[in-house]
């Protein structure tokens, strides 16, 4: 059986790992330059490195906790004490050398084709025809792990599954990556949830495996700020967010050595589906993602594994 998975975030990779382990032929497509989705690391000129998506991962259930322990033993994750501003009782882990390192670990042994934007997914007699540019391939099953609004655009609003997906609400997140010289006023503020327009602030080089004498900060805006400024130019967003970060750090915007913004258009499921996945009546198309169950890496992982289990249970 050949299975196409669209999206190389944690949901797609979780599904692919289980299907490959069961002996199926799996191809994962992703439009990005690398795997991981929001398990992302941005590198910039000057040696700067920012985990500008997920700051860390943690587990509430035994299956995901076992995966984190496995990845830690393999050197793809390291335990991290986030410090002040968090009440998370579960151990936190960060990817090595960046968060994308965890995603690359998950993708080992999987046929992942990055830089592949899906044009169409069409039902044909032999299964599903997946088109990328001028090239198309046929698969027996197809799994879409894109954000819910992107699935609707790909399949069309009249598709039966999209009627169920349309109830999912997702909100954006605008992110600032900023570098400052010296250690300054860091103290215990390496991971903080401040009041106001910023939702989360992280000092990247406080994490294990990160080096350098500069302060490398990542600041995520809250949903209200992100919605209000979503479609502004990225340099303008950076200029708006930098003073917000500086107010928290006790620094001046002019001190920043580097300040750029990133737009996560579909970052959070403000109204998740409430089910681990959706499938058509034939069990030949599946939809999954963290938007099914929540906003965490564990939610995405759980969704992907549930898809794989159902697909395998239906037989070949």
Joined together, the tokens standing for residue 209 give: 């495996």
Residue 84 pLDDT grade (very low, low, confident, very high; cuts 50, 70, 90): very low
Query: What pTM was estimated for this model as a whole?
Result: 0.94
pLDDT on residue 276 = 98
More confident: 171 or 91:
171
Q: Do residues 216 and 203 make contact, with C-beta atoms less than 8 angstroms apart?
A: yes
pLDDT on residue 283 = 84
Map out the domains of the chain with their CATH numbers: 2-36+107-168+272-313 (3.50.50.60), 170-269 (3.90.660.10)
Distance CA 239, CA 161 (A): 41
Distance CA 125, CA 129 (A): 10
Residue 43 pLDDT grade (very low, low, confident, very high; cuts 50, 70, 90): very high
CA–CA–CA angle 269, 15, 166 (5° rounding): 30
pLDDT on residue 83 = 57
Q: How far is CA 79 from CA 58, 82, 129, 154, 161, in A?
A: 10, 9, 42, 38, 39
Sign, Cα dihedral of 218, 220, 225, 229: positive
Q: To the nearest 10°, the Cα dihedral for 143, 289, 207, 230?
A: 110
pLDDT on residue 195 = 77
pLDDT at 315 over 80: no
DSSP element (H, E) containing 33: none
Distance CA 179, CA 181 (A): 7
């Amino acid at each position: 059986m050949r299975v196409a998975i669209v999206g190389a975030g944690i949901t797609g990779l979780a599904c692919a790992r289980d299907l490959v382990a069961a002996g199926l032929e799996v191809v994962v497509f992703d439009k990005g330059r690398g795997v991981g989705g929001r398990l992302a690391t941005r590198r910039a000129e000057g040696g700067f490195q920012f985990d500008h998506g997920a700051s860390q991962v943690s587990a509430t259930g035994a299956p995901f906790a076992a995966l984190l322990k496995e990845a830690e033993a393999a050197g793809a994750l390291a335990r991290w004490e986030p410090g002040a501003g968090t009440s998370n009782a579960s151990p936190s882990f960060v990817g090595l050398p960046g968060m994308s390192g965890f995603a690359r670990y998950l993708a080992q042994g999987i046929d992942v084709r990055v830089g592949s934007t899906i044009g169409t997914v069409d039902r044909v007699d032999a299964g599903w025809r997946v088109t990328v540019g001028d090239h198309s391939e046929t698969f027996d099953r197809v799994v879409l792990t894109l954000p819910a609004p992107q699935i609707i655009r790909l399949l069309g609003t009249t598709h039966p599954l999209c009627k169920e997906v349309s109830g999912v609400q997702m909100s954006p997140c605008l992110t600032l990556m900023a570098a400052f010289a010296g250690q300054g006023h860091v103290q215990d503020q390496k991971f903080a949830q401040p009041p106001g327009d910023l939702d989360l602030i992280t000092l990247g080089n406080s994490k294990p495996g990160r080096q350098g004498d500069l302060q490398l900060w990542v600041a995520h805006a809250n949903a209200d700020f992100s919605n209000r400024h979503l479609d502004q130019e990225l340099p303008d967003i950076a200029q708006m967010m930098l003073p917000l970060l500086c107010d928290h750090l006790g620094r001046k915007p002019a001190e920043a050595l580097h300040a750029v913004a990133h737009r996560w258009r579909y970052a959070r499921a403000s109204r998740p589906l409430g089910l681990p996945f959706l499938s058509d009546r034939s069990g030949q198309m599946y939809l999954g993602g963290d938007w099914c169950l929540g906003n965490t890496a564990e939610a995405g992982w759980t969704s992907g594994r549930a898809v794989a289990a159902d697909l395998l249970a239906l037989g070949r």
